[in-house]
């Protein structure tokens, strides 16, 4: 995130220019499209951690989103929203990054341990950035620290996901990082911090066993305004001698934003000066990519180029998908540079922040800083991004959509006892068959589609997706981006025979459709029957849809 020009966070004005009413005629493209799945051409196992999440002390992500408090009327487990835990278990949520984001580099983990009533209240990072625009009663102004390390780790345990903690590199010395590791992971009763861990609310005698540690966040910006070689030096210093106890250590470097290849090159070049073995210290290189610019090339201004979350016109619809799609090229470019220095590709990519970022105005309440609604368009962004990550399963070890609840590209919205699943949640649920499955090559031969971009006709792909195999089960997920046309497509499996198939489809007649507390099931997937004839199936992908085809192989 760029620190300048953040005043827009709480602007409530809606984008006036939306062309919501433009309806495309409904028609079907004849089967000029084909997807061939090559089951004997495996890429790699898809790490379940690609389906990870991100939790920051920001807006209403933690307070109200996750933490309702032990004495709340809202159903909770140890103060943690029960409906959220249950919904996350259904999608087998594997990983949670915490406590930021930019907040992480302002956070002292000691503030969030011990008796809750004695924990200090602190100025939240986001108050420093957004200033008077942060509402008086917001926890983004004054951080109460009711939710800290034990609460977060308890949340992870309840869901069954792994924690990924981001250390403060900007404003605390390395010693504090080492002590946070000691607090979390040193053996029962062995250290003063292990005793503190046990004594605290939601205390644990046994170590938490945290494996994933982020070394700062966006150190090129809010995490310190460092240069790449300065960051390489800090990374080496912070990770030089961290007690492992008996747990694996997976350090993640604060990588680049989108196409900032200089940051990646600078870091890898300076690291390499210590010899190639230094890369053993880097489990993942974090890449952040937000889809926010829907201006169709008219501007790249961080504020002006964004559009409304719900009221967007067809051009803005396609532009958001195009922005999301760029990540594939960025990942390949970073990967190539990484391989120039780390020739064995020991370091993999961690896309530890990604998603749609719209202009303010659709948040449930002013206190929900960076909160936004989530439509079918965001579901398509999620689907095409997850398909890209699946296709590059050999390079990507984790990804964390930003952020879990009441924030940017959220799976949930919550307000008091009201709670709903967004269309993006349904995409994650539909994609669970890919988790831990083997990605196999799928060749999409599909004509391009066209839309009007700033007065010029522009191409975009007609269908995109990914395929994976687990035992005799094949999962194919496909996004049809066209706002108005179905796409009849022949699906062919090479190297196996299809016994039967079933489909789940997420689509509505309107790409602006979203779930509200009044109508929480406006967008949800439906099952469709699929006929297989002579080993081939022909499927009609609905306009603006996400589809899961599950094939039983012989």
Which residues contact ligand AHR by CB under 6 A? 1, 56, 100-102, 217-218, 353, 402-403, 408
Name which of 183 and 220 has its Cβ closer to ligand AHR.
220
Helix (H) or strand (E) holding 381: helix 376-391
What is the token pair recorded at 507? 């689509």
* Gap between the Cα atoms of 329 and 333, Å rounded: 6
C-alpha 545, offset from chain centre: 20
Name which of 1 and 367 has its Cβ closer to ligand AHR.
1
Name which of 2 and 497 has its Cβ closer to ligand AHR.
2
Name which of 404 and 551 has its Cβ closer to ligand AHR.
404
* Gap between the Cα atoms of 516 and 374, Å rounded: 10
Residues catalogued as catalytic: 218, 353
Name which of 5 and 189 has its Cβ closer to ligand AHR.
5
Strand 284-291 and strand 250-253: pairing?
parallel
Q: Helices 314-325 and 376-391 sit at what angle, rounded to 10 degrees?
A: 20
Residue 135: CB minimum distance to ligand AHR, A: 18
The CB-nearest residue to ligand AHR is 1
Q: Which residues contact 229 (CB under 8 A, 6 or more apart)?
A: 266, 267, 269, 270
* Gap between the Cα atoms of 325 and 303, Å rounded: 21
> Which residues on neighbouring strands pair with residue 290, listed in sequence order?
355
Name which of 398 and 544 has its Cβ closer to ligand AHR.
398
Rounded (5°) CA angle 539-545-551: 40
What is the b/e burial string over 159-184, where b = at least 16 CB atoms within 10 angstroms of the residue's CB?
bebbbbbbbbbbebebeebebbbbbb
Contact 469, 518 (CB under 8 A): no
């Amino acid at each position: 995130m760029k620190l300048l020009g953040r005043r827009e966070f709480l602007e409530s004005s809606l984008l006036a220019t939306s062309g919501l009413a433009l309806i495309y005629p409904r028609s079907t493209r004849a089967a000029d499209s084909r997807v061939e799945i090559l089951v004997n051409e495996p890429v790699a196992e898809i790490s379940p951690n690609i389906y990870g999440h991100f939790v920051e002390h920001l807006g209403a992500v933690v307070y109200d989103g996750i933490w309702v408090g032990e004495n709340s009327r809202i159903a909770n487990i140890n103060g943690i929203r029960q409906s959220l835990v249950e919904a996350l278990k259904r999608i087998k949520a594997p990983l949670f990054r915490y406590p930021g984001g930019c907040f992480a580099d302002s956070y002292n983990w000691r503030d969030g341990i011990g008796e809750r009533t004695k924990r200090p209240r602190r100025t939240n990072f986001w108050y420093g950035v957004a200033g008077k625009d942060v509402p008086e009663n917001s926890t983004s102004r004054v951080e109460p620290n009711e939710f800290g390390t034990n609460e977060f780790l308890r949340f992870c345990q309840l869901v069954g996901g792994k924690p990924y903690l981001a250390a403060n590199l900007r404003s605390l010395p390395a010693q504090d990082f080492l002590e946070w590791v000691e607090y979390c992971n040193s053996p029962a009763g062995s250290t003063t911090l292990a005793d503190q861990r046990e004594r605290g609310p939601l205390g644990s005698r046994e170590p938490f066993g945290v494996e994933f540690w982020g070394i700062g966040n966006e150190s090129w910006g809010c995490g310190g305004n460092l240069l790449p070689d300065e960051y390489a030096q800090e990374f080496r210093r912070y990770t030089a001698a961290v007690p492992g106890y008996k747990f694996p250590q997976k350090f993640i470097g604060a990588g680049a934003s989108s196409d900032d290849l200089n940051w990646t090159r600078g870091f890898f070049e300076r690291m390499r000066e210590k010899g190639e073995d230094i890369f053993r210290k880097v489990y993942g290189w974090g890449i952040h990519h937000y889809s926010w610019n829907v201006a169709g090339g008219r501007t790249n201004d961080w504020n002006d180029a964004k559009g409304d979350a719900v009221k967007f016109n067809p051009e803005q619809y396609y532009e958001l998908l195009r922005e999301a799609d760029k990540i594939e090229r960025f990942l390949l470019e970073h990967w190539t540079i990484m391989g120039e220095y780390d020739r064995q590709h020991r370091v993999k990519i961690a896309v530890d922040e990604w998603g749609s970022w719209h202009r303010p105005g659709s948040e449930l309440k002013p206190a929900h800083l960076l909160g936004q609604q989530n439509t079918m368009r965001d579901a398509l962004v999620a689907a095409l991004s997850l398909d890209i990550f699946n296709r590059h399963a050999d390079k990507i070890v984790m990804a964390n959509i930003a952020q879990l609840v009441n924030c940017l590209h959220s799976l949930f919205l919550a307000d008091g006892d009201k709670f709903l699943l967004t269309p993006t949640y349904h995409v994650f649920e539909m994609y669970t068959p890919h988790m831990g499955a083997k990605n196999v090559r799928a060749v999409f031969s599909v004509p391009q589609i066209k839309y009007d971009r700033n007065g010029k006709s522009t191409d975009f792909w007609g269908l995109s997706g990914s395929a994976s195999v687990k035992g005799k089960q094949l999962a194919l997920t496909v996004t049809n981006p066209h706002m108005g046309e179905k796409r009849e497509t022949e699906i062919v499996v090479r190297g196996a025979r299809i016994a039967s198939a079933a489909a789940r489809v997420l689509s509505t007649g309107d790409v602006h459709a979203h779930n509200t507390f009044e109508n929480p099931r406006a967008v949800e997937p439906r099952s469709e029957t699929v006929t297989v004839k002579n080993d081939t199936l022909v499927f009609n992908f609905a306009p603006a849809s996400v589809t899961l085809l599950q094939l039983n192989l012989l």
